[in-house]
Amino acid sequence: MTVDESFAAPAGAVQLDQAAKALRDNGYTVHVVETPEEARKLVTDLVPRDQSVFTASSETLRLSGITAELDESGNFRSVRANAGEPSDDVYDQIRLGALPDVVVGSVHAVTEEGHLVVGSASGSQFAPYASGARRAIWVVGAQKVVPDLETGLRRIRTHSLPREHQRLQQSYGQSSFLGRVLILEREAFPDRGTVVLIREAIGF
């Protein structure tokens, strides 16, 4: 798969500020931070220690250290850390994080209109993202900010999917595909959805 590298460059301050304003208008709490390290510190402050937290699979979370902090530090009630041995049944794995108190993950595009766009093969993260979790926190690099929904969908197909395909090929000799797309247009419940925008590029 060919990767469209035009989607790898971080958006400028004007575009980032426009996306942040639109997200707030759509009912999301928004934090704009400078670096992945700042994002990690912020997220660990936002996640309660006494509630279950599920980390969705995400290069953004892995590279920023958020996955390790939430799942391996012992300071949080990690769904993954407390799940025991992984099941051979793929549906057990999909259900694992369906109903946490808090889900932490990322998205593949944020539009300047305040929409969040996520692509997935199985859709395993969609249940907590959409409504299963009482609270959702998404950590997003500035390169994922796009003008509109059409561009966001194109970004998934021409950048995020090929990059994930490359990652799986190199790590496991597997391929990837786009099976499902979730579009979050606005948040229905006050204080449920939080978006942490990083002014740097991270993840894909």
Task: Read off the pLDDT of residues 72-81 as tens digits, 9 standing for 90 and up.
Answer: 999 999 999 9
In a domain, 33, yes or no: yes
DSSP code of 144?
Answer: G
Number of Cβ within 10 Å of residue 88's Cβ equals 7
1 HSE (CA, 13 A, CB side): 21
Domain contains 49 = yes
Residue 203 within a domain: no
On whether the CB atoms of residues 192 and 137 are closer than 8 A, the answer is: no
For the stretch 133-168, pLDDT in tens is 999 999 999 999 999 999 999 999 999 999 999 998
Q: HSE, CB side, 13 Å, CA atoms: give it for residue 115.
A: 17
What's 175's domain CATH number? 3.40.50.10420
Residue 22 forms part of a structural domain: yes
In a domain, 30, yes or no: yes
Residue 97 forms part of a structural domain: yes
Residue 187 lies in a domain: yes
Give the total number of structural domains in the chain.
Answer: 1
For the question of whether the overall pTM of this predicted structure is more than 0.85, the answer is: yes
**And the tokens for 204?**
């894909």
The whole-number pLDDT of residue 32 equals 98
* DSSP labels, 73-128: SSSSEETTTTS-SPPS-HHHHHHHTSS-SEEEE--SEEETTS-EEEEESS-TTHHI
Residue with tokens 């990837």: 176
Write phi, then psi, for 145 (nearest 5 degrees).
-80, 125
Q: What is the pLDDT of residue 86?
A: 61
Boundaries of domain holding 183: 5-198
Closest CA to 141 of 4, 7, 5, 10: 10
Give the pLDDT of the chain (204 residues) as one tens digit per residue: 899 999 999 999 999 999 999 999 999 999 999 999 999 999 999 999 999 999 999 999 999 999 999 999 999 999 999 886 666 666 666 677 789 999 999 999 999 999 999 999 999 999 999 999 999 999 999 999 999 999 999 999 999 999 999 998 888 888 889 999 999 999 999 999 999 999 999 999
Q: Dihedral sign, CA of 89, 90, 91, 92?
A: positive
Is residue 204 in some structural domain?
no
